[in-house]
Amino acid sequence: MSSPKAYAAVDLGASSGRVMVGRVGPDSLELAEAHRFANRPVRVPEGLRWDVLGLYAGVLDGLRAAGQVASVGIDSWAVDYGLLDADGALLGNPVHYRDARTEGIAEQVWARVPAAELYARTGLQYAPFNTLYQLVAARSSAQFAHAERLLLVPDLLSYWLTGEQGTELTNASTTQLIDTRTREWSYEIADRLGIDLGLFAPLRRPGDPAGVLRPEVLEETGLTGPVPVTAVGSHDTASAVAAVPALGERFAYICTGTWSLAGLELAAPVLTEESRAANFTNELGLDGTVRYLRNIMGLWLLQECVRAWGDPELGGLLREAAGVPALRSVVDAGDAAFLAPGRMPERIAEACRASGQPVPRTPGEITRCILDSLALAHRRAVADAQRLAGHPVDTVYVVGGGARNALLCQLTADACGLPVVAGPAEAAALGNVLVQARAHGVVGDLADMRRLLTRTQPLTRYVPRGGTARWEAAEARAATG
């Protein structure tokens, strides 16, 4: 019997990147970390930027550590991009989505394309950092004037590895320039906003070939060519949802990490005005699916607090938080007031004070406030998604880093009144690997991929406790927080 094939998954998050090696056979799926590296945004006089050259160096180091692989796939966060000149050279470090340059831009966009019409065409919720708003903000810059090509972050790294340019569809759907019904560019929307879609490279789908590693890359990494690069769900959430170990359709998912992405997998978008008002987004997934979800601020709130407290040990914080009375104070975890970095413990305390709730003061109290608030936001998102889509569920799957947080998972089960299945924690990397393996004939369709996950990955089940009445009572307090 031949040994399982190895695939390298480049998985870039907002605070770190890593190269993982997945070994996939018909009845086996193993994942190991080859290399992890920091992703530290840099504030320069013109604003907040990504150190994309440092990320690329980390990718090369990771491929060297990974050893010989059958393919490479890249996923990352969404919306951000690099601009290339006519020679294919990068014109500057990509702007970070938390940069302030899009302040006030939405009103300019809506004056040309009303928000309701924009949603009806693209299905995307309003977020100030959507690529569409970034492009309108950048139009008058000297850098933009010299741009001949725009590549989203994972496509930029793929281009440097292979010399070939493309725009992967699941990530393109987060630009707010894709018609979610046709799964193609919306030229009408772009034309009305003065955006040249010719800046984008041709669309690719997950599983499409994306070139082979250049000779210079092979030399630097020590790999023996040819090594293909395969387009995966290059938006990390698309890869993570592909790795939800659900059997059947009656499930909700929460992809947890810096953000919580909570919602459903559907066959068609939900484009109603009620859906827009509820701030749900329709992003594209594998095999014609739609990721119908709400963006919630996520563990970013806790990450920023931990940074402000000098990086204390997380386990101790969670044990302290478990001893704090439940739902003592809650905030709206989706509030854009928490988007920017800095002073997070003080800002959470101020929000509680403003809504007349007890003010959390110790790290344990603030941590419990954050976790209760996230569970409450998960509850609202799962309930609203079912109602708006007419799609009932009986299980919630928590994947990503938050799957390791037992307190958050139990609170989410309690808040939703539904069982929670937690795992896999490395969902994005696993989804990345499985799409590569499928493209190379090792596994079958999406359902087959998920069956393999249920057979091979450790999963933990949490049963709801205590009824949902107290969570219902807490919702009004969070809404006024």
Catalytic residues: 236
How many C-beta atoms lie closer than 10 Å to residue 188's C-beta?
Answer: 12
Give the whole-angstrom CA distance, residue 259 versus residue 356: 27
Show Cβ contacts of residue 197 under 8 Å, excluding neighbours closer than 6 positions. 177, 185, 187, 190
CA distances from 404 to 113, 262, 461 (A): 42, 17, 12
Q: Any idea which residue has 């393999």 for tokens?
A: 452
Tokens of 421: 């299945």
Question: Is the bond leading into 424 cis (omega within 30 degrees of zero)?
Answer: yes
Neighbours of 407 (CB within 10 A): 16
Amino acid at 415: A
SS (H, E, C) 374-398: HHHHHHHHHHHHHHHHCCCCCEEEE
Going by their DSSP bridges, the two strands 178-179 and 81-84 should be labelled as unpaired
Phi, psi values for residue 264, rounded to 5°: -130, 160
Hey, what are 145's tokens?
A: 């004037």
Cβ(167)–Cβ(201) under 8 Å?
Answer: yes
Rounded to the nearest 10 degrees, the angle between the axes of helix 314-322 and helix 406-416 is 40
- Do 329 and 357 form a contact (C-beta atoms < 8 A)? yes
CA distances from 98 to 42, 81, 280, 341 (A): 12, 13, 20, 8
Q: How far is CA 414 from CA 324, 411, 464, in A?
A: 16, 5, 4
For residue 371, the 8-state DSSP code is H
CA separation for the pair 227, 3 (Å, rounded): 18
Which residues on neighbouring strands pair with residue 214, listed in sequence order? none
Which letter, b or e, does each residue of 444-458 get, where b requires 16 or more Cβ atoms within 10 Å of its Cβ? eebeebbebbeebbe
Task: Please state, as a whole number, how many other Cβ atoms lie within 10 Å of the Cβ of residue 97.
Answer: 22
Query: Using CA atoms, how far apart are residues 296 and 309, in angstroms rounded to an integer?
Result: 23
